[in-house]
Chain A
Amino acid sequence: MTIDLPTIWAGIISLGVFLYLLLDGFDLGIGLLFPFFNHAGERELMLNTVAPVWDGNETWLVLGGACLYGVFPLAYSTLLPAVYLPVIAMLCGLIFRGVAFEIRAKARRTQNLWDLAFILGSGTAAFCQGVILGTLLQGIKIVDGRFAGDAFGWLSPFSVFCGLGLLVTYATLGCGWLVMKTEGDLQRRLRMLLKPLSSALLAIIGVVSLWTVLGQPAIAQRWFGGHNFVYFAPVPLLVLACITGIFRSADTGHDARAFILMEAVIFLGYSGLLISIFPNIVPPSLDIWAASAPRSSQIFVLVGAVIILPIIISYTALSYWVFRGKVRHGDEGYH
């Protein structure tokens, strides 16, 4: 069997995007939960739970973008113009929230202003990511290797719904993370949010799945054609099981349960997305082979990626290990 570079690269980039959703999802979620918690010191505590890692979490977005550019330039040059305004808004949201995160710790009089920037930045970034995913699922019109849709093609009821859906997803994930990392009254009130959040999440996943299957015959064919559904059935069933588990963990269960189950939901949802579009990279017409850079480019980048990615992944794992456990008031260590 010959080694197929585009497939390897599709695997690496899929992993990068997955890690991004997994990791940056919960710290964006904290920004979304921010408005509901404002007792003395609570916001500091919430931020302290992600302070050592949020910066590294965002790494994967940059790495994903850079690799996509270097390895699948045609995907890069058709997807980004198609979702132009959401991408710009997402970047600005991320800038605002990143800088607000740092500056608020050094601010006294203007802290409320930076809190607002953090909330709005997180919300904008999360919503736009959802819109981008929704647009991708709906398909992007490409003629002659160029984006051929119109300026607001990304704006549809479906993509907006996906944007709202990702807001709820990240909020649930952030809530699960905080339940794991906090204790006492704050944790009790966070647990109370798990039920409404996970119910909303279940409804949203149901609607998005149905909407996709009804609206995209090709995706329906992928899931239900032949015996496929037998193989793919575990995905929706496991999602259902996980969300039920999160719902129940509001009352009982280990502090980490909601978070772990929620990460599993992200994994399953992401698998669902890949099942729906693979081997396309920009549906409905651009597949990973057509989008590929020349072989020499893909090999050139692969050398660097094979050396450096494992180092970055091990380092990330190590820092999560170092910062494991509950974060308490008075742990000023890393802020």
Chain B
Amino acid sequence: MPEPNDVLVLARLQFAFTISAHIIFPAISIGLASYLAVLEGLWLRTGKSVYRELYFFWSKIFAVGFGMGVVSGVVMAYEFGANWSGFSRVAGSVNGPLLTYEVLTAFFLEAGFLGIMLFGWKRVGARLHFLATFLVALGTLFSAFWILASNSWMQTPQGFEIVDGRVVPLDWLKIVFNPSFPFRLVHMSLAAFIVVATIVAGCAAWHLLNGRRGEGIKKSFSMAVAMILVTVPIQIIAGDQHGLNTREHQPAKIAAIEGLWETERGGTSLNLIGWPDMKEERTKYALSVPHLGSLILTHSWNGEVRGLKEFAPADRPDSTIVFWSFRIMVGMGLLMLLLGLVGLILRLRNRLYDTRWFHRFALAMGPSGLIALLAGWITTEAGRQPWVVYGVLRTADAASPLSSQQVGTSLLIFVIVYFLVFGTGIYYMLKLMAKGPDVGDPAADLQGAAGEAIASFERRPMARATDPIDE
């Protein structure tokens, strides 16, 4: 009976595609909102106009990203019912309310403070405006809070009972604050900050390479490289703690990430690279280091890590995928660490703005935050398989009773629509970035941000940027 499997694969592909396209925008919104709050705070404190200039510049990009995030998020909410009706039927009683809270939070935020932040520059005082920016930044983190509570509960479910095959919530505190939630929340929030730090650094590096030496460009480059230097090491520690938590609650995921098949006695080695083969049950071409696996995963010399063979073949995640997605994430992280450290050395030697190879490096690293973010999400989501709610509901039982033609058609439609629509959105964001903070008339920009007197009731973030898209 091949058809149900086709449907499952297509539905998973569709979810992976639409959520990957979506997560890019919220990550940028979360990171940029906090960056904007910092910029405005610095402007209020120091009175230096460069901060205000940067604020106006990045608020336009924030606005477009926010708009794109809202639009792409609508699809996600309906996909749970359309493609994953089994999941909605069994676990909708937990995930539904958490998503509803996210929607309520997001709309509350949009209704209240986004308008003031983007269009109310002249209407309200500087302090009140800063408060609006701060609350928007806080609100984006609250949105993340609910989404990650929902996702973490699917990874490490608790606080419920099963009645007639359906999840009945018993304790909402336990549901929200499930074991993997704090780790995931910290890891994702930091990731959003790093996404924005690498983008800001890349943008500034591009302008530096093009011979622009304005104060705004230098300042943003300096801030972003410093941010990378500070956040990446913290992220590495947070990721390590997250890994320990995963080993405790989802050992099969860890085994798959490491391409570890046997439970090794007296110290686990670590496969640096290799090709896990699910059929042959071994990792080919493995280059492994003795004891390193124990050191990283258990923080001890001889710690034991359960191999994939301890789990029934039907309960194993696809090691080939998560082995590599994890290594892409870690590789990006290490490159970012290098970027931060080299940046520090150049700064100490007063060469931060004059080292062209470093600017090329930073430019190339512009998308690294997003790549790491996507690779990390692929690792945690594909690593949860074959479960949609870990240990409770299998992904195969979560799909809707649809035909592969239906799901295939909708996948095709989504791919076309997303490339057209979000391709345009990303193109526009890049175009805005290419303009740079030091160009244009700051007075006109202030006008744009002030809008009409009534425009703080404006709820359309994308109206904030007025630069032409096709000229």
Q: Please say whether chains A and B are actual partners in one complex.
A: yes
A interface residue numbers (CB < 8 A to B): 51-56, 58-59, 61-63, 65-71, 73-74, 76-81, 84-85, 87-89, 91-92, 94-96, 98-99, 102-103, 105-110, 145-148, 151, 293-294, 296-297, 300-301, 304-305, 308-309, 311-312, 315-316, 318-319, 322-323, 333-335
A-B contact pairs, 14 of them (CB 8 A): A51-B463, A58-B74, A69-B92, A69-B100, A74-B89, A76-B81, A77-B89, A92-B417, A99-B424, A102-B460, A107-B468, A318-B457, A322-B454, A334-B455
Q: Is the CB–CB distance between A81 and B401 below 8 Å?
A: yes
Tell me how far the C-beta of B176 lies from the nearest C-beta in chain A, rounded to whole angstroms.
Answer: 10
Task: Assess whether B405 is in contact with A151, with CB atoms less than 8 Å apart.
Answer: yes
B102 CB contacts on chain A under 8 angstroms: 66
Which of chain A's residues has its CB closest to B73's CB? A62
Q: How far is the CA of A59 from the CA of B459 in the complex (A)?
A: 11
Interface size class of B (residues with CB under 8 A): 35 or more
A147 engages B96 (CB within 8 Å): no
Nearest Cβ on chain B to A56's Cβ, whole angstroms? 5
B64, closest chain A residue (CB)? A102
Question: Hey, which chain B residues are within 8 Å of A61, CB to CB?
Answer: 74
Given A62-B74, A300-B172, A334-B452, A73-B88 contact (CB < 8 Å) = yes
Q: How far is the CA of A92 from the CA of B250 in the complex (A)?
A: 37
Decide if A334 touches B71 in the complex (CB within 8 Å).
no
Instruction: Say yes or no: A95 contacts B108, CB within 8 Å.
Output: no
Interface pair B108/A308, CB less than 8 Å apart: yes
Listed from nearest, the 9 A-B pairs whose CB atoms lie closest are: A73-B92, A70-B96, A80-B81, A333-B452, A77-B85, A77-B88, A70-B100, A102-B462, A69-B96
Contact yes or no, A69 B107, CB < 8 A: no
Cα separation A311 to B109 with both chains bound (whole Å): 11
List residues of chain B with CB within 8 A of the CB of A311.
108, 111-112
| Chain B window 100-116, contacts with chain A (Cβ cutoff 8 Å), 1 for yes, 0 for no | 11111001101110000
Q: CA–CA, A55 to B81, complex, Å? A: 23
Q: How far is the CB of A128 from chain B (nearest CB, A)?
A: 12
Contacts of B99 in A (CB 8 A): 66, 69-70
Question: A312 contacts B459, CB within 8 Å?
Answer: no
Q: How far is the CA of A102 from the CA of B422 in the complex (A)?
A: 13
B78 in contact with A87 (CB, 8 Å)? yes
**Known A51-B463, A69-B92, A88-B414; 6 more pairs at CB < 8 Å:** A55-B459, A69-B99, A81-B81, A106-B468, A148-B401, A308-B104
Does B334 touch A at the CB level, under 8 Å? no
A50 to chain B, nearest CB (A): 10
Q: Which residues of B contact A53 (CB under 8 A)?
A: 459
Q: Is B78 touching A91 in the complex (CB atoms < 8 A)?
A: yes
Report Cα–Cα, A56/B467, bound state, in Å. Answer: 24
Cross-chain contact A77 with B459 (CB below 8 angstroms): no
| Contact A334 B92, beta carbon cutoff 8 Å | no
Contacts of B428 in A (CB 8 A): 103, 106
A74 → chain B, closest Cβ, in Å?
6
- Nearest CB to that of B104 among chain A residues? A308
Contact B81 A70 (CB under 8 A): no
| Beta-carbon contacts under 8 Å, B438-471 to A | 451-452, 454-455, 457-460, 462-463, 465-471
Contact A70 B421 (CB under 8 A): no
Dominant secondary structure of chain B at its interface with chain A: helix
Cβ contacts under 8 Å, A316 to chain B: 111
- Expressed in whole angstroms, the Cα–Cα distance for A146 and B85 within the complex equals 8
B422 CB, nearest partner CB in chain A, Å:
9
Closest chain A CB from B463 CB (angstroms): 7
B96 and A81 form a contact (CB under 8 A)? no
Are A297 and B93 closer than 8 Å at their CB atoms?
yes
Q: By the criterion CB–CB under 8 Å, are B468 and A73 in contact?
A: no
Q: Which of A51, A71, A73, A81 has the most CB of B within 10 A?
A: A73
**B65 in the interface, Cβ–Cβ < 8 Å?**
no
Give the chain B neighbours of A78 by CB distance below 8 A.
85
Given B104, B413, B452, B468, which contacts A108 in the complex, CB threshold below 8 Å? B468
**CB of B25, distance to nearest CB on chain A (Å):** 12
If A81-B82, A315-B112 touch, whether A294 touches B413 (CB-CB below 8 Å) is: no
Complexed CA–CA distance, A96 and B425 (Å): 12
B97 touches A (CB below 8 Å): yes
- CB-based contact B457/A65 at 8 Å: no
The answer to whether B140 has its CB under 8 Å from any CB of chain A is: no
- Given known contacts A81-B400, A308-B108, is B169 in contact with A294 (CB within 8 Å)? yes
What is the CA–CA distance of A51 and B457 in the complex, to the nearest angstrom?
11
List the B side residues contacting A94 at CB < 8 Å. 74
Q: Chain A: which residue is nearest B72 at the CB level?
A: A95
